[in-house]
Amino acid sequence: MTTQAKENIKFAGDYKLIDVKVGSTRGLIFDVFDFVVDINIFEDMYSPTISGNITLQDAQDLVNLLPMIGEEKLLITFKSPSMTDADGLFEQAFYIYKMTDREYSAERAVRYTLHFVSFETIRDLNSRLSRGYAGKISDIVEQFLKNEVQTEKPYNIEPTKNTIIYTSNYWSPFTNVNFLTKRSISTMNDAAN
């Protein structure tokens, strides 16, 4: 089999896992690549952030070494098999918020599932804004993404032609963005999309 044949996508969602690490709140980083049983990453049209879960078969008692308290970081690196590293490489840090399905196996290993979300989710949940905003809707949305959510991910904001004056009544940044997107009118096609 040629190298090119190995690198083709075989089915939708196909990927090549490169690296998986868990970082503790004390700054320790553990390579858990060899422990990975299953990874699920979820994108939702109705949610502005990414979530997922990873199942590990751990024979090194990582749960007690860290210890897992629900504030660890998960670092995942993978790529699309058909793309070059520069185009298809996905490197992302996530926030681990929960552990479930902890079971001990006969091989003296423990199997468990870690649930994670993007850091933007945590920033959104911990931020409530109570102030007035005025200006072009696209500019206000960009302000929320840069200053409140502090995302470093690429995003595309279509310029709007209408302006707005409103007060955020202790809404989270993403609640504000949803409020604004329903009222925006594009400069390109006079539609609210």
pLDDT per residue as tens digits for the range 108-118 = 788 899 999 99
pLDDT at 137: 87
Taking all residues of the chain, what is their mean pLDDT, rounded to a whole number? 83
pTM higher than the cut 0.85: no
- Work out the average pLDDT over 176-185: 88
- Work out the average pLDDT over 24-47: 86
Instruction: Give the span between the Cα atoms of 124 and 140, in whole angstroms.
Output: 16
pLDDT at 128: 93
pLDDT tops 50 at residue 5: no
Contact 112, 99 (CB under 8 A): yes
pLDDT at 183: 87
What is the pairing mode between strands 110-118 and 89-104? antiparallel
Distant-in-sequence, close-in-space partners of 171: CB < 8 Å, separation ≥ 6: 128, 129, 179
